[in-house]
A and B are shown apart, each in its own frame.
Chain A
Amino acid sequence: MASEVASALLFYLVNGLIWGLIIALIALGLSFIFGVMGIVNMAHGDLYMLGAVFAYWIFSALGNFWLSLLIVPVAIGLLAAPTERLILRPFEGHPAVTMIATAGLSFILQQLVLMTYGGVPKELPMPLQGSFDFLGVAYPLYRLFIAALSLVIIASVWLFLHRTDYGILVRASMQDKEIASAMGINVNTVLVFTFVLGCVLAAVGGVLAAPVTQVFYLMGNDVILLCFIVVIIGGLGSLGGTLVAALVLGGVEGLLAYFLSPTGARAAVFAFMVGVLILRPQGLFGTQRG
């Protein structure tokens, strides 16, 4: 009996952690865009949705899921760059204003997708068919693949920021835009680049999640609040913090789901987060104050 409970708990924990990784991937882009540009991106969840919708379209047209991992980043990049330059640039640095401007963008994106894609949620078949026995459940192999790929992407973003020259420029702009500009960094291209990178991360999250969740024009609304929480709890501008916070959130909620009703579990996690923020208002790993 005891071992049964233990294996159940282990299952919930691991499953929660895998979901945490997907959230981390999306939240990373959000954290980036906020850290460097001061944009509170309410449309971030919709980029996740766009990634999934594009993946669905690509799969329907070409019959291949993996191609979307190549095409979607390019397509989203082509959309995001002009959006930043032409629409969002004047608002940057004013969090409340960017919040509403991006909320406006979010309305537009959702309605455009509703017009073209329709209001019926659709499913993508699993691109990896296999499953393995995980504590009595035929656990889909594809989920492990997502977890691994998310980790790889997060690690490469970290390496990029800390080990390449351009990454250092980005981090410099994150800390102080004016000084960075005075040092001769072309802040303009850094801004465009950051926004594109952030959006692409969200869209890739959407592509990866598409076969696991369902493709629906309002699916962005489900993740946006979670991502904001993760970013803040992790500490603004802290990549590692975002990752850890996402894993903690996923894991704790997974564990609580065993003991409490589903809404109860989520409410308890949120209450726990409020507690964390009151005790450590700079977040788990944050150094600077918001």
Chain B
Amino acid sequence: MLFGFFILTVLGVLMPRGPRSLAMQTMAFCIFAMAYDLCFGYTNQCSLGHSVFFGVGAYGVVLSLLHLQSGILLGLLIAFVAGMVVAFLMGSICVRLTEAYFVIVTALFSAIFHLLSLDMTWLTGGDDGLSVTLPDISVGGVRLSLYDPMTNYYFILVFFLASYLLMRRITEAPLGKVFISIRENEKRAAFLGYDPFRYKLAAFVLSGAFTALAGSIYALTLRYATADLFGLYWSIIPIVWCLIGGVGTLVGPCIGVALMFFFQYYVSAWWTHYLILFGVLILVILRTSRKGLLGYLLGR
């Protein structure tokens, strides 16, 4: 994976502008996908409510820029914390519920947030959304503008790398081991003295916070946020990424994201109805390996 980051660093200079823009967007969604897998793959909580965190993150940064003139870095921090808080509130209600009920209650939250964001146009701009002009970032006396494509690329790459390293640290730490043991056998983990609720909540909150970070970085690359980001679509699509890429890992979901964007960006130009191919691909991958493309490639 680190080799992959090295390649991405080199490619940043070599790539033409088009693919570079695609890579930027893909990296933002990779953060989303990894964050989602923290909850789905590591603790087996199949949430349909992640669009809430995604939208909160996007609006967190856009609204901080518009109303607080907060600057980009502080805006990202605000978005991250907002995602964490919302995930904590939502998680303390949902996480206790078992499978199917958890899925539906999180989906209901996603629907409620979507409806409200459509209605509260004074805050969100509704369907038409809010555009934002990005201020410069000053780090140690150097001023950086995200309107410079190269700066923007490395800016996102840094956050992608940092998120990956942090999440890898979490999953390899004892905390991550508890997550996995809960996924494998919740009762046994409880017997060992780990309160499943607290650990699942922790995974949910971390996942929500990183999802919000992904949302805020995505909003920065679009320079725009819309109520559409709260839609159910953004809750379902991360499951697709995880399952076709490889669930229960951090790299797998990224492969899923790259695959989907490859289809949306390139195949759609050749064939409008590319979703048919994508649907077939989903079925073929699921049929071949329950661990997704990554599991298939690494398997013997």
Chain A interface (Cβ within 8 Å of chain B)?
40, 42, 87, 90-91, 94-97, 99-101, 103-108, 110-112, 114-115, 225, 228-229, 232-233, 236, 261, 263-264, 266-267, 270-271, 273-274, 277-278, 281, 283, 289-290
Residues of B within 8 A of A263 (CB): 115-116, 118-119
Residues of B within 8 A of A111 (CB): 273, 275-276, 279
Q: Mark the stretch among B56-64, B172-180, B232-240 that contacts chain A.
A: B232-240
Contact B283 A104 (CB under 8 A): yes
B187 → chain A closest CB, angstroms? 14
Bound form: Cα–Cα A277–B103 in Å: 11
**CB interface residues, B 76-101, toward A, < 8 Å:** 93, 96-101
Q: 24 pairs across A/B with beta carbons < 8 Å?
A: A87-B283, A95-B100, A96-B243, A101-B282, A101-B286, A104-B286, A105-B279, A107-B276, A108-B276, A111-B279, A112-B276, A225-B111, A228-B107, A232-B101, A261-B119, A267-B119, A277-B97, A277-B101, A278-B93, A278-B105, A281-B96, A281-B101, A290-B99, A290-B100
| B287 interfacial contact with A, CB 8 Å | yes
Bound form: Cα–Cα A281–B93 in Å: 11
B60 → chain A closest CB, angstroms? 21
Extra 9 A-B pairs, beta carbons < 8 Å, given A263-B116, A290-B101: A101-B286, A103-B239, A104-B279, A107-B279, A228-B104, A236-B100, A274-B105, A283-B101, A290-B99
Bound form: Cα–Cα A94–B46 in Å: 12
Which of A97, A106, A108 is close to B290, meaning CB atoms less than 8 Å apart?
Answer: A97
A118 → chain B closest CB, angstroms? 12
Residues of B within 8 A of A95 (CB): 46, 99-100, 103
Contact A91 B286 (CB under 8 A): yes
Residues of A within 8 A of B29 (CB): none
Contact B280 A104 (CB under 8 A): yes
Closest 6 CB pairs of A and B: A290-B100, A104-B282, A107-B279, A108-B279, A104-B279, A107-B275
Bound form: Cα–Cα A103–B108 in Å: 19
Contact A107 B278 (CB under 8 A): yes
Residues of B within 8 A of A104 (CB): 278-283, 286
Interface of B is mostly: helix
Which of A90, A94, A103, A115 is close to B287, meaning CB atoms less than 8 Å apart?
Answer: A90
Chain B interface (Cβ within 8 Å of chain A)?
40, 46, 93, 96-101, 103-105, 107-109, 111-112, 115-116, 118-119, 232, 236, 239-240, 243-244, 273, 275-276, 278-283, 286-287, 290
Residues of B within 8 A of A228 (CB): 104, 107
Bound form: Cα–Cα A110–B272 in Å: 13
Residues of A within 8 A of B103 (CB): 40, 95
Q: What residue of chain B has the Cβ atom nearest to residue A272's Cβ?
A: B108
Contact A100 B239 (CB under 8 A): yes
Residues of A within 8 A of B236 (CB): 42, 103
Contact A273 B283 (CB under 8 A): no
Bound form: Cα–Cα A95–B40 in Å: 13
Bound form: Cα–Cα A264–B118 in Å: 10
Bound form: Cα–Cα A91–B243 in Å: 12
Please judge, given known A-B contacts A229-B104, A277-B104, whether A100 and B243 are in contact too, CB under 8 Å. yes
Which of B108, B116, B239 is close to A229, meaning CB atoms less than 8 Å apart?
Answer: B108
A222 → chain B closest CB, angstroms? 11
A231 → chain B closest CB, angstroms? 8
Contact A114 B273 (CB under 8 A): yes
Q: What residue of chain A has the Cβ atom nearest to residue B275's Cβ?
A: A107
Residues of B within 8 A of A106 (CB): 279
Residues of B within 8 A of A100 (CB): 239-240, 243-244, 282, 286
Q: What residue of chain B has the Cβ atom nearest to residue A43's Cβ?
A: B279
B233 → chain A closest CB, angstroms? 9
Bound form: Cα–Cα A40–B108 in Å: 16
Contact A108 B118 (CB under 8 A): no
Residues of B within 8 A of A232 (CB): 100-101, 104
Bound form: Cα–Cα A97–B290 in Å: 8
Residues of B within 8 A of A289 (CB): 98
Contact A270 B275 (CB under 8 A): no
Bound form: Cα–Cα A232–B105 in Å: 9
Contact A271 B112 (CB under 8 A): yes
Contact B279 A290 (CB under 8 A): no
Q: What residue of chain A has the Cβ atom nearest to residue B233's Cβ?
A: A221
Bound form: Cα–Cα A105–B109 in Å: 26
- Chain A CB within 10 Å — which of B97, B100, B118, B280 has the most? B100
Which of A99, A233, A273, A274 is close to B93, meaning CB atoms less than 8 Å apart?
Answer: A274
Contact B108 A270 (CB under 8 A): yes
Contact B239 A96 (CB under 8 A): yes
Contact B287 A99 (CB under 8 A): no
Bound form: Cα–Cα A40–B104 in Å: 12
Bound form: Cα–Cα A289–B236 in Å: 24
Residues of A within 8 A of B273 (CB): 111-112, 114-115
Residues of A within 8 A of B105 (CB): 274, 277-278
Bound form: Cα–Cα A266–B116 in Å: 10
